[in-house]
Amino acid sequence: MQDGRTQTQPKQKSKVYLLRADKLKKDALHPDAQIVVGNVVFRHDSVYMYCDSAYYYDKINSFEAFSNVRMEQGDTLFLYGDRLYYDGLTQIAQMRMNVRMENRTTTLLTDSLNYDRIFNLGYFFDGGTMMDDQNVLTSEWGEYSPSTKMSVFYYNVKLENPQFTMLSDTLKYSTLTKVANIVGPSDIYSDNNYIYSESGYYDTQTGKADLYQRSVLTSDSKQLTGDSLFYDRNTGIGEAFSNIVMTDTLNKNMMLGDYGYYNEKLKSAFVTKNAVAIDYSQGDSLFLHADTLSMNTFHLDTDSMYREVKAYHKVRFYRTDVQGVADSLVFSSKDSCLIMYKDPVLWNENQQLLGEQINIYMNDSTIDWAHIINQALSVEQIPVDTTLFNQISGKEIKAYFEDGLMEKVEVIGSVRLVYYPMDSDSLLIGMNVSETSQLDIYLENQQLERMVMSPKSNGTLYPMSQIPLEKSHLDNFVWFDYIRPLNKKDIFNWRGKKLEDQLKKNVRGPIELPNQHLFNDK
């Protein structure tokens, strides 16, 4: 007792005991050591250590062990090596050469390992390999805790699993849960795909991954990127959230949005929430927006395999040479046909096409011919006087293209025509109003070459100064400039048709085409 206060005695360190040896001797070269040889056994607390020979430093509570060194802590931790220096004061075991640590189903192999008994932590710093019943991990530096089953690996980390290989700079791994915690740039390779991530969790047992910080899933020519990414290796399903990008490098297109889904086994995908499709196969990119974009593949791995891409609802698209709106859209690689459903309108420069349905048939990514079905209307704004319009209506219109340029137009059934012919100086001659059963229009370099009516109809030609106002527009004329997409940003601004401009319902019933069922699942 001093100054009225109790003096706390420092806690005594436990002693390292030499339990047995076949021989005990002294050596002038090691005056502070007892040299023990043959069946040597040490104990420190509940830890037992075995070797063929050792230098025992009783005064500093430590020893050096040589040959067939083994350390046992309970019945769960075993440490083997050729040499060991054990410090009883710090309780750190330094095992060297042919080191093997075993903790139940986990084995750690290295040539240099320090094991800290106080923190129950083993760490290597000259390269090591850790194995459990699921994975093999190697790195230049790492640590493993037998109590928590957690390990951390640094520098040239490699995790090998029967289904994939992960390469990383830094990786945390639990031998209990088999979950790898990605905390640095990491590449995951498998026969089916490739994943890049800098942050996330990968359950190597279930094959499920939660990945963050713009992770990327690549499968064949498809690539899925998002602020966060979920992937299930067993089902082949990947989901991306927020600012997602789904790219098809083979077909040169991509889909953007805030949610994306991809099934690599079924080769199906869809994107929603601010969904945008971009096709850059033609050099000049086409931008398309809809509530939802989807892609499905049918008859996989057969000669009959084909894809269907759908956009629904409130479709708007823009390219410098073509723009369009519709409620829904389908493209099938089976017949290379793009179908615009429900009040579709298509624009090309100063020309507008519309009907109940528009089918566009492609040939090597360029338009081959287009078919406007029911209540077909073609309107062309005249460049020399934008208040005037050439107009053609009929039950259906077929337009044929050569090298991307329209060369022939067929208007079939109840054909009505309002047309402004020009002279050789591009001056308006008058307005022609005609009716016939079929009209064939031939064009040369996008300019009218001739028109053929069946049966022949001369119609009525009104001089420009005597045009009756009521004759200047067909009954179903409408100019939809107010809903036309103006640029790639304008595709997000849905503008519906005015009530008075909408097509009248077809009393003959809805159109039934092979792809119509595609919209019944939503």
- C-alpha closest to that of 480 among 375, 324, 311: 324
Residue 229 binned pLDDT confidence (cut-offs 50, 70, 90): very high
Residue 511 binned pLDDT confidence (cut-offs 50, 70, 90): very low
**What share of the chain has pLDDT > 90, as a percent?**
71
Q: Which residue has the tokens 């698209």?
A: 317
Phi and psi dihedrals of 459, rounded to 5? 65, -160
Residue 520 binned pLDDT confidence (cut-offs 50, 70, 90): very low
Residue 506 binned pLDDT confidence (cut-offs 50, 70, 90): low
Residues in Cβ contact with 56 at an 8 Å cutoff, skipping those fewer than 6 apart: 18, 33, 34, 35, 36, 42, 63
Q: Which two tokens stand for residue 519?
A: 């919209």
6: pLDDT strictly greater than 80: no
Residue environment code for 399-430, b if the CB has 16+ CB neighbours within 10 A, otherwise e: bebeeeebbebbbbeebbbbbbeeeeeeeeeb
Distance, in Å, from the CA atom of 88 to the CA atom of 15, rounded to the nearest integer, reads 7
509: pLDDT strictly greater than 60: no
226: pLDDT strictly greater than 90: yes
Domain ranges of the chain: 15-126
Per residue in 123-141, pLDDT tens?
999 999 999 999 999 999 9
Looking at residue 296, its amino acid is N
Distance, in Å, from the CA atom of 173 to the CA atom of 108, rounded to the nearest integer, reads 13
Top-confidence residue, 517 or 80: 80
Q: Got the DSSP string for 33-93?
A: EEEEEEEEEEEETTEEEEEEEEEEETTTTEEEEEEEEEEEETTTEEEEEEEEEEETTTTEE
According to DSSP, the residues that pair with 409 across neighbouring strands are: 399, 441
Residues in Cβ contact with 495 at an 8 Å cutoff, skipping those fewer than 6 apart: 482, 483
Residue 521 binned pLDDT confidence (cut-offs 50, 70, 90): very low
Q: Which CATH architecture fits 15-126?
A: Sandwich (2.60)
Per residue in 130-186, pLDDT tens?
999 999 999 999 999 999 999 999 999 999 999 999 999 999 999 999 999 999 999
* Cβ pair 236, 217 in contact under 8 A: no
Q: How far is CA 141 from CA 137, 172, 313, 402, 520, in A?
A: 11, 12, 54, 65, 57
Distance, in Å, from the CA atom of 237 to the CA atom of 270, rounded to the nearest integer, reads 12
236 burial (CB, 10 Å; 0-12 / 13-18 / 19+) is middle
- Positive or negative CA dihedral for 33, 34, 36, 40? negative
470: pLDDT strictly greater than 50: yes
DSSP state of 458: -
366: pLDDT strictly greater than 80: no
* pTM of structure: 0.80
- C-alpha closest to that of 341 among 518, 185, 187: 518
Strands 194-197 and 199-203, sheet pairing? unpaired
* Cβ pair 349, 374 in contact under 8 A: no
Distance, in Å, from the CA atom of 185 to the CA atom of 211, rounded to the nearest integer, reads 12
Looking at residue 139, its amino acid is S
* pLDDT, mean over the chain: 89
* Cβ pair 157, 173 in contact under 8 A: no
Distance, in Å, from the CA atom of 463 to the CA atom of 173, rounded to the nearest integer, reads 86
- C-alpha closest to that of 53 among 24, 11, 91: 24
Whole-number pLDDT of residue 504: 67
Residue 416 binned pLDDT confidence (cut-offs 50, 70, 90): very high
CA 485 from chain centre, in angstroms, equals 28
- C-alpha closest to that of 291 among 269, 318, 272: 272
Per residue in 384-414, pLDDT tens?
899 999 999 999 999 898 877 788 999 999 9
**What share of the chain has pLDDT > 70, as a percent?**
94
Per residue in 306-360, pLDDT tens?
889 999 999 999 988 889 999 999 998 888 899 999 999 999 888 899 999 999 9
Distance, in Å, from the CA atom of 225 to the CA atom of 219, rounded to the nearest integer, reads 12
Q: What is the mean pLDDT of the segment spanning 415-421?
A: 93
